[in-house]
Amino acid sequence: MVNKNLRKIAGAVAVAILGALPLSAAAADKYIGGWQKDFPVVKYGVIPVETQSNTVKSMDAFIKLAEKELGVKMELYTASDYSGVMNALIAKQVHLSWLSGFSYCQTRMDSNGGVEPLVAAMEPDGTMGYVSVIVVKAESPYKTVEDLKGKIVARTDPLSGSGYLIPTAAFRAMGKPVDEYFKSPLAGGHPQAVLGVLRGTYDGAFTWTSKDDNIGNLRAMMNKGLLKREQIRVVWTSPTLPSPPVVIRTDLPKAMRADLEKLFTELQNHDMKIAESIAQGRTKGMVPIKHEAYELMCQAAVDERAARKKK
């Protein structure tokens, strides 16, 4: 089942995401409003794809714009790992969060459908999606996955789609369980994984990127001067995965949901740098997205959870 889902995800991404989307109330010229008196503070969570201090810094302009546009106090919520942000959503301590596709699926399962996708980033050419990859140092002798057999290939966080769940499921389906085929410690995060490769701590590492490295950890590290693209080589690429979504609690007022959708989808009209900070890379802008785009990924998450219980 895992193998079938992984093969199907790539073909379903473009259809599910790029199909005709009906205009919502958020497409109106003005915000609906009226919900602010009940929600004077809106909390936005972000999973840790970079350090907490860097996340706060990169989100500063967005927080200020959101407060100006919506007339509320906007607070950023970060945590040291994925589960911290996911649990905050489940416990209703935050209103919306940027998650990976798999962490969205996990959160949806654990909250009994209490969250749904709101928006996701579109690539500069209008396509969507990202991939999990294995990167090695460009100067290393490793050219294929087979070259890395028995070597140290780091994963990131147990709740990361690209850094853990997709690689684990994909390699199990290939008959090459990650924990048996490689030595696979947890790096603690995507930047840490790639930096470990550059420093020689790891022979390879799983991380995420997209077409032309527009969006993802590699782009974020290049933008921060932590990585030069020529320093690494990609030796494995997963099927295309649905773009990481900003998800929102389903118990919030429809007007609030619509206004938040409008805020995100118009970011590029205010300041493209702000849109890129939300997208974690180069983007054409944020677009509305629905749960249907993640159905196959969520089924893979169910299968992965079942596989873990069998161990």
Q: Of the residues 216, 237, 258, which one is the last residue of a structural domain?
A: 237
Query: DSSP code of 111?
Result: T
Query: Tens of pLDDT along 97-125?
Result: 999 898 999 999 999 999 999 999 999 98
Whether residue 85 sits in one domain with residue 19 = yes
* Structural domain boundaries, residue 76: 2-127+242-310
CATH value at residue 142: 3.40.190.10
CA pair distance 264, 54, nearest whole angstrom: 21
Kindly compute the dihedral angle of the four CA atoms of residues 297, 278, 231, 191, in this order, to the nearest 10 degrees.
Answer: -70
Q: Of the residues 189, 217, 237, which one is the last residue of a structural domain?
A: 237
Whether residue 163 sits in one domain with residue 305 = no
Whether residue 112 sits in one domain with residue 20 = yes
Integer angstrom CA distances of residue 169 from 110, 129, 145, 239, 294: 20, 18, 15, 12, 16
Written as one string, the DSSP assignment of 135-194 is EEETTSS--STGGGTTSBEEB--TT-IIIIIHHHHHHHHTT--HHHHSB--B-SSHHHHH
Whether residue 254 sits in one domain with residue 118 = yes
pLDDT at residue 176 in the model? 95
CA pair distance 286, 267, nearest whole angstrom: 8
Whether residue 49 sits in one domain with residue 122 = yes
Integer angstrom CA distances of residue 36 from 45, 93, 237, 254: 19, 17, 44, 12
pLDDT at residue 3 in the model? 53
> In the predicted model, is pLDDT for residue 266 greater than 80?
yes
Whether residue 113 sits in one domain with residue 7 = yes
Whether residue 91 sits in one domain with residue 67 = yes
Query: Tens of pLDDT along 201-243?
Result: 999 999 999 989 998 999 999 998 999 999 999 999 998 888 9
Whether residue 189 sits in one domain with residue 123 = no
Total domain count for the chain?
2
Whether residue 147 sits in one domain with residue 110 = no
Whether residue 267 sits in one domain with residue 215 = no
**Does the pTM exceed 0.85?**
no
